[in-house]
Amino acid sequence: MSENCTTTVGSYLASRLEEIGLQHYFAVPGDYNLVLLDKLLENKNLKMISCCNELNAGYAADGYCRATGGASAVFVTFSVGGLSLLNAIAGAYAEDLPVIAVSGGPNTNSEAEFEMLHHTLGALDYDYQREIFSKVTAEAVTIHDPREAPTQIDHAIQTALRFRKPVYIEIACNIAAAVTSKPNVRSFGGPTASDPLSLKAAVERAAELLNAAVKPVLVSGVKLRSFGAEANFHKLADASGYAIASMPNAKGFFDEQHPHFMGTYWGPVGSPGCGEIVDSSDLCLFAGPTFTDYTTTGHAALINPAKIIQARPNSVVFPNQTFSNVKLAEFLEQLATKLKPNDASMIAYKRIQEEVTPLRAGTPETPLSTRQLFSRIQQMLGPDSTVIAETGDSWFNGIQLNLPTGSRFEVQMQYGSIGWSVGATLGYSVGAPDRRPIALIGDGSFQLTAQEVSTIIRYGLKPIIFLINNRGYTIEVEIHDGPYNTIKNWNYAELVNVFNAEDGHGWSCKAGTEGELDEAIKMAVSHNGPALIEVLIDRDDCSKNLLVWGGHVAKNNGRPPRIS
Ligand code: DPX
Ligand code: MG
């Protein structure tokens, strides 16, 4: 190869990451990826964010995808790093986030020489990490031959962007600096287009049924964002005049200030009046839904397959007909041009809509309750806020917030891995520097990934973290209680000083009363750096919705085995 058309494998990957819009990547070093990291550092348009551990780096990459709407990348060493990263990548798979997971790998000579290696299982197996990752990614490749690197890297990146799923790239440690072709001009498209015939037929069928329905309703689902269909869902909402609901894991994808927005459709724990209108509708279009035990409150939501149309990322499913290869965004956009406006469901909702009475604050000395905490958080929200709600009671309280136009909401409801939000808050803050994340994190969840607050401090990011100290795994208490739901208490607020050490600018305090909380919020909002408020909440203080939801989920988990 002549000099001007060559580069190294590591630099090739860096250039492609830059090309698809990344400005940062998350990394933990180890001897199998050090040369690769050297090559990445040579690219001055990409910034390395060094994390405390690989799981958190993976969660940060998840948060970065959510913030930018694009891909992210995370770099780890072999096995000890990779297998620690695995859970976060499984989460990204479940949540449709294109995280590019890159691991250093054994020297290409090791296999040929039957060499036993450190950090491995102590067996002559060099492929197990790729095999394991192949279960939680859309593509998993190992690069051993630098001449193949461009094809393998491009294919993996294209797969991540097209299918909105993570991919795994393993680069042998002696290949990262090996010579390969420079990246050549090409495009990396997102999801492919629909089959035109199928799209047309699906749109016509949907329009025919919806235009004939008496009280049609629209519900937004979680796949809308990953598959680039949020804007077209808004177009459809405007064109149809129907009442609109959001599924809980799609909160924030549809403007909650839209005049036709009813609230969250979540079975018995949904917004008052909303479930009644959806369930009594004669035809409901769900756009990008997932009907799981969690999103349907243990299947207590009355989803009647005979009365719904499901627009999925790649197909449209009618009560007794399916159209394949129809892309969600295209379907919604075309349907918007074909619907007759019909506000019958909205009129019905208005008749039963409940007035929201604002909660009156107590005295400054009143011990803090979850309700008062969330009424204060409600007042903090503006168009540049993003609420990041960890698994736990934060889901139920967070989902009840009324989001102003522009504000966003993040939840990992499909995967629900506690500790996610600390890393995700880091990655989100890096990916969206103009927004101010407000993270709602329970004490139990925080204990899994707490050290990543140190990285938030290290890079001078500015999230506000509410650390909700209710002395236990309260959501589990409501599903099924036992001694395992009590956790060791920590002085959470003091951790910020531990992580600040000599050069950090994190701020923190504890708040046990309403007055202390008001003071703490003022300080946190004006602090030009990360802030953590540890709020002291009674162990039994949880939202009514958690109690109801926990009962339904427990019943669903408790179904007896079918032994014939
Ligand atoms: C567990 C959950 O303190 O929140 O509001 O007190 O419930 P609440 P905390 O953060 O506790 C969370 C806890 C233990 N789930 O109640 S939701 C099981 C679980 C999980 N993910 C992982 N391990 C265990 N969801 C990684
Ligand atoms: Mg707790």
pLDDT in tens, 213-229: 999 999 999 999 999 99
The rounded distance, in Å, linking the Cα atoms of 473 and 483 is 10
Q: How far is the CA of 550 from the centre of ligand 2 (A)?
A: 15
Q: Two tokens at 137?
A: 């990614």
SS3 476: helix
Q: Which residue type is seen at 280? A: S
Q: Two tokens at 25?
A: 């990547």
Q: How far is the CA of 542 from the centre of ligand 2 (A)?
A: 10
The per-residue pLDDT for 264 is 98
End-to-end CA distance of the chain: 68
Mutate to test the pocket of ligand 1, among 89, 473, 544 (most ligand atoms within 8 A of CB): 473
417 lines ligand 1 (CB under 6 A): yes
470 lines ligand 1 (CB under 6 A): yes
Helix then strand then coil, % of the chain, to nearest 5: 40, 20, 40
Distance of CA 386 to the CA centre of its chain: 12
At 385, the pLDDT band (50, 70, 90 cuts) reads very high
Q: For the ranges 117-131, 446-460, 508-522, which has the lowest average pLDDT?
A: 117-131
The per-residue pLDDT for 139 is 98
| E strand segments, 506-552 | 507-511, 531-536
Report which ligand 1 atom has the smallest distance to the Cα of 87.
26
Mutate to test the pocket of ligand 1, among 53, 441, 445, 487 (most ligand atoms within 8 A of CB): 445
At 2, the pLDDT band (50, 70, 90 cuts) reads low
442 lines ligand 1 (CB under 6 A): yes
Report which ligand 1 atom has the smallest distance to the Cα of 475.
7
Q: Which residue has the tokens 């892309």?
A: 327
Dihedral Cα 212, 217, 223, 225, nearest 10 deg: 110
Residue pLDDT, tens place only, 306-346? 999 999 999 999 999 999 999 999 999 999 999 999 999 99
| Degrees, nearest 5: CA angle 255-257-262 | 90
Rounded to an integer, the average pLDDT of 340-358 is 94
Rounded to an integer, the average pLDDT of 158-175 is 97
393 lines ligand 1 (CB under 6 A): yes
User: Percent of the chain, pLDDT > 90?
Assistant: 90
At 519, the pLDDT band (50, 70, 90 cuts) reads very high
